[in-house]
A and B are shown apart, each in its own frame.
Chain A
Amino acid sequence: MEPTLSPAGYAALTILILPLAAALVTTLCPRRDPERSANLSIGAIAIGFILSLGLFAFTGDKAMETNFNWLVVGDLKVSFGLLLDPLSKLMLLVVTGVGLMIHIYSRGYMSGDRGFSRYFASLSLFTFSMLGIVLANNLFMMFVFWELVGVSSYLLIGFWFEKNSAADAAKKAFLTNRVGDFGFILGIILTWAALGSLNFTEMAWLVEKGAQSTDKSGGTLLSLGFSLLAEPLGKIAGGTHWWTVHPNVLVTLVGLLLFMGAMGKSAQFPLHVWLPDAMEGPTPVSALIHAATMVAAGVFMLCRIFFILDIPGSHALEFIAWIGGVTALLAALMALQQNDIKRILAYSTLSQLGYMVMAVGLRAPGPAMFHLTTHAAFKALLFLGAGSVILACHHEQNIWKMGGLRDAMPRTWWTFRWGTLALCGVWPFAGFFSKDAILAAALDPAHRNIPLFVLGVFVAGLTTFYMSRLVLVAFCGNARSEEASHAHESPGVMTWPLVVLAIPTLLAGAVGIDAYIAKLFPGEHPPHNEGFLDNLFAPFNHNILAAGFGLLAVVAGYQLARTLYVNADRDRLPEKIGVLAKMARDRFYFDELYEWFISVTQETLARIADWFDCWIVAGLLVRGTHGTTELVGRALRLVQTGSLQTYAFLFAAGVVLVLAWQLLGNSPTH
Chain B
Amino acid sequence: MTVGLEHYLTVSAMLFCLGLLGVILRRNVLVIYMSLELMLNAANLALVAFSRFNENLTGQMMVFFIITVAAAEVAVGLALIVALYRKRQSAHVEDLTSLKL
Contact = CB atoms under 8 A, between A and B. Distances in A.
Given A643-B94, A644-B93, A649 B100 contact: no
A637 B101 contact: yes
Categorize the interface residue count of chain B: 10 to 19
Categorize the interface residue count of chain A: 10 to 19
Contact of A642 (B23, B25, B32, B100): B100
Contacts of A642: 97-101
A152 B46 CA distance: 96
A641 B97 contact: yes
Interface in B80-100: 93-94, 96-100
Contacts of A652: 20, 23-24
Interface string B17-39: 00010011100000010000000
A637 B93 CA distance: 20
Interface in B45-101: 93-94, 96-101
B23 A645 contact: yes
Nearest to B100: A642
Nearest to B23: A648
A640 interface: yes
B21 to A, nearest CB: 9
A642 B99 CA distance: 5
A72 to B, nearest CB: 72
A640 B101 contact: yes
A476 B16 CA distance: 123
26 contacts: A637-B101, A640-B100, A640-B101, A641-B97, A641-B100, A642-B97, A642-B98, A642-B99, A642-B100, A643-B93, A643-B94, A643-B97, A643-B100, A644-B32, A644-B93, A644-B96, A645-B23, A645-B24, A645-B25, A645-B32, A645-B93, A648-B23, A648-B24, A649-B24, A652-B20, A652-B23
Contacts of B93: 643-645
Nearest to A643: B97
Contacts of B100: 640-643
Contacts of B24: 645, 648-649, 652
A645 B24 CA distance: 5
A648 to B, nearest CB: 5
B71 to A, nearest CB: 22
Shortest beta-carbon contacts, A-B, top 4: A642-B100, A642-B97, A642-B99, A649-B24
Chain A contact surface mostly: helix
Interface string A640-662: 11111100110010000000000
B85 to A, nearest CB: 15
A655 to B, nearest CB: 9
B59 to A, nearest CB: 20
Interface of B: 20, 23-25, 32, 93-94, 96-101
A307 to B, nearest CB: 84
Nearest to A649: B24
B9 to A, nearest CB: 14
B69 to A, nearest CB: 20
A605 B23 CA distance: 67
A380 to B, nearest CB: 85
A643 B98 CA distance: 9
B40 to A, nearest CB: 15
Contacts of B25: 645
Contacts of B32: 644-645
B20 to A, nearest CB: 6
Contact of A640 (B20, B98, B99): B99
Interface in A100-140: none
Nearest to A644: B93
A644 B25 CA distance: 11
Interface string A398-415: 000000000000000000
Contacts of A637: 101
A641 B20 CA distance: 19
Contacts of B96: 644
A649 B20 CA distance: 8
Contacts of B99: 640, 642
A542 B17 CA distance: 124
Nearest to B94: A643
A637 B100 CA distance: 9
Interface in A289-323: none
A118 B99 CA distance: 76
Contacts of A644: 32, 93, 96
B94 to A, nearest CB: 7
Nearest to A653: B24
B91 to A, nearest CB: 12
Tell me which of B20, B24, B94, B96 has the highest count of chain A C-beta atoms within 10 A of its own C-beta: B24
Contacts of A643: 93-94, 97, 100
A645 B94 CA distance: 9
Interface in A605-661: 637, 640-645, 648-649, 652
B25 to A, nearest CB: 7
A277 to B, nearest CB: 68
Contacts of A640: 99-101
A643 B93 CA distance: 7
Contacts of A641: 97, 100
A127 B26 CA distance: 100
Contacts of B98: 642
Contacts of B23: 645, 648, 652
A645 B23 CA distance: 7
Nearest to B99: A642
A645 B97 CA distance: 11
Nearest to B24: A649
A599 B97 CA distance: 64
A32 B101 CA distance: 75
A55 B99 CA distance: 97
A652 B20 CA distance: 8
A633 to B, nearest CB: 11
Contacts of A645: 23-25, 32, 93
B36 to A, nearest CB: 10
Nearest to B29: A644
Given A642-B97, A645-B93, 8 more contacts: A642-B100, A642-B101, A643-B97, A644-B93, A645-B24, A645-B32, A648-B23, A648-B24
Contacts of B94: 643
A644 B99 CA distance: 10
Contacts of B20: 652
A637 B97 CA distance: 14
